[in-house]
Structure 1
């Protein structure tokens, strides 16, 4: 029933009973219980058409609490604040402070989160925080087990520090998994069947969802396809399909590259590199197609710009000819915002877990329900590299 209220629309007991399939008496009891939660619901007594018995109308109070989603990166990290319905109130892009310990980086995340809530939360309390991290997590999400992009978060200290200093529910997720959750919750892709999201950025990884549920392996390494070896001399998928890997590979061939524009130019100047990249991508997609038979493979990340739509269509045809699996390969609907919106979906699930709302119920909500819309003007964006403030951990 709470999932229905997350639409943000005013409703009554009769409508809730029709939508949920529950009896009206059960809905009456549930609404009464929710009305006991301070500030959760707005309540209004209305007399339809001015005649007949009055009807109690209820709707979720969007100021009940705010949510914060974070996508952590070694260079620039992103923070977004939304109301409890997932509508954006503000966003910040912040330069990630370099050379910090795990505890110092955790304190920086906590400080920036609290400042964002204080400045843009309009007095609403923080309800939950979710952090997308560039690395694999253990199945219990208590520690990061591998992060080439940001190695200082490896181990339990970073996660433990944030959990102990934030007095609200906190969720952590691999950033690729968060991106796929964002696409399922906010994008146009169907959650039915199998959907795979391939992220090509500083590294290469994939997230897999079956009937809306994201798969997690026993070690947290499921989908880390960038580690696959392609040639006898040890060339890996991530050496050809990630920015960091290809930069290193090109430097070894006498092409020093400093930015993505230069990287694209170097690729076009060297037909051999272009062929290697295309072969590596074909190989990766063929493995994913055979392993999961997805109806859709979404591609995202800054490096994926080197594979425009016409190339993706060609890959789909070649893979179908090779392994006899038909799949739609296209760019992710939300682009670089996928992981940030996925973090908000996770924060919403964390906030309402006490009421029995599941991740799957949130993902099944219509995209318009959670579409991030700034209530007044454009999202607030700031760039800073403030040092972290020490945070007292109980």
Structure 2
């Protein structure tokens, strides 16, 4: 019982410090609701563990006495986020305060089989981390498909080998670190919630539109996840001619396929959205706009988000049309969330995966779940990221 009480006090002090760092013992006592003497004992334990350190002295409110501020030892443990895409893989290492330690973007060898891909991911992760690899406590990997709770992957047409049974276990074995896995759109949304375009919208959604279509939904800052990872898989809805899936109507690969079927010359998907696009493309653009409006409506009625963030290669071409999509939603639903493009650009998924990994590290340290969901924050990750 004594040990349990000490542990609870330690967790309360650590939670208070993460919520308002740096802070004096007095401030921690006020925020945690435990006595100053108990705070001091818990702080001594955290100092001995190397989780907390004493920093600068501050003038206290009473009679000019000095108090020592405490802060988290940011590099005590590190976290890694990996956004594993069919074209590129982005890797980000952060400290406990969410500050970048290392980042890297490398082309994905999508032709390799599952085992070689697992080993390649681990090799690239170690190369990115370099000398700090031994301090990485948790890794989260974003996947281009639906990830179930039983470590199954489905709906990954651009990297079908990852759907092989045991692929995620092979990845974790190759990394030699505890790992978490989720759909890349879920992690992209988590990144935008903490550092990007949805920081003021705890109820938010993310659509990633590139050569595939992904979606993530969040309520009160929590990403919605189902048993089989199918929440947000709106691309599977059969809304096109002869039951064509929605994904084939709005993605880059779908745009190119429909252009070829219509006999329309199209050099790349982005050409469909050019201001001076030829009349021959107007019909294809109208089909795209209708399909995207359906996706936006489905997202809105599914989770009633305050903000929908658009990411991925196609999204960058849609900025001039955002108001038009919002008006279309208002006409059909009478309400519309804000529709914005991702602030973190191509690193949304890696940032979100790093945040998810940090959440696991925080939980292991003993930070309370109610505080974890709001951590980390600020501008640390986003300051120097390429878009």
Q: TM-score range by the shorter chain?
A: 0.7 to 0.9
SS at match of 1:270: helix
Structure 1 range deviating more: 51-60 or 204-213 = 51-60
Aligned CA distance change for structure 1 residues 90 and 258 (closer, same or farther; 3 Å) = farther
Is it true that 1:316 corresponds to 2:336 in the alignment?
no
Counterpart for residue 178 of structure 2: 169
Alpha-carbon distance in structure 2 between the residues aligned to 1:14 and 1:166: 42
Alpha-carbon distance in structure 2 between the residues aligned to 1:274 and 1:260: 11
1:13-92 matched pairs, under 5 angstroms: 13-37=25-49, 39-43=50-54, 46=57, 48=59, 55-92=67-104
Structure possessing the higher relative contact order (Cα contacts under 8 Å, 6 or more residues apart): 1
Alpha-carbon distance in structure 1 between the residues aligned to 2:280 and 2:368: 50
Residue deviations 1:212-234 (CA, integer Å, cap 9, x gap): 11111232111111122223423
Counterpart for residue 251 of structure 2: 242
Alpha-carbon distance in structure 2 between the residues aligned to 1:96 and 1:335: 18
Is it true that 1:274 corresponds to 2:297 in the alignment?
no
Counterpart for residue 220 of structure 2: 211
Residue deviations 1:196-227 (CA, integer Å, cap 9, x gap): 11111111222111111111123211111112
Counterpart for residue 224 of structure 1: 233
Structure 1 range deviating more: 292-301 or 39-48 = 39-48
- Please say if residues 81 and 351 of structure 2, whose CA atoms lie closer than 8 Å, have aligned partners that are also in contact: yes
Aligned CA distance change for structure 1 residues 54 and 292 (closer, same or farther; 3 Å) = closer
- Please say if residues 212 and 360 of structure 1, whose CA atoms lie closer than 8 Å, have aligned partners that are also in contact: no
Alpha-carbon distance in structure 1 between the residues aligned to 2:38 and 2:92: 37
Match of 1:367 among 353, 357, 377: 377
Alpha-carbon distance in structure 2 between the residues aligned to 1:296 and 1:344: 22
Alpha-carbon distance in structure 2 between the residues aligned to 1:133 and 1:54: 51
TM-score normalized by the length of structure 1: 0.84
Higher helix share: 2
1:210-359 matched pairs, under 5 angstroms: 210-255=219-264, 257-264=266-273, 269-309=280-320, 311-357=321-367
Structure 1 range deviating more: 359-368 or 162-171 = 359-368
Counterpart for residue 390 of structure 1: none
- Please say if residues 187 and 367 of structure 1, whose CA atoms lie closer than 8 Å, have aligned partners that are also in contact: no
Is it true that 1:97 corresponds to 2:109 in the alignment?
yes
- Please say if residues 170 and 350 of structure 1, whose CA atoms lie closer than 8 Å, have aligned partners that are also in contact: no
Structure 1 range deviating more: 148-157 or 206-215 = 148-157
Alpha-carbon distance in structure 2 between the residues aligned to 1:267 and 1:185: 40
- Please say if residues 346 and 359 of structure 1, whose CA atoms lie closer than 8 Å, have aligned partners that are also in contact: no
Aligned CA distance change for structure 1 residues 366 and 88 (closer, same or farther; 3 Å) = closer
- Which ranges in structure 2 are unaligned for 5 or more consecutive residues? 1-12
Alpha-carbon distance in structure 2 between the residues aligned to 1:41 and 1:294: 37
Match of 2:125 among 106, 110, 113: 113
What is the CA-CA distance between 1:283 and the residue it aligns to?
1.8
Count of matched residue positions in the alignment of Structure 1 and Structure 2: 372
TM-score normalized by the length of structure 2: 0.85
Alpha-carbon distance in structure 2 between the residues aligned to 1:117 and 1:124: 9
Aligned CA distance change for structure 1 residues 7 and 22 (closer, same or farther; 3 Å) = same
SS at match of 1:233: helix
Alpha-carbon distance in structure 2 between the residues aligned to 1:267 and 1:337: 33
What is the CA-CA distance between 1:26 and the residue it aligns to?
4.2
Match of 1:127 among 109, 133, 137: 137
Counterpart for residue 22 of structure 2: 10
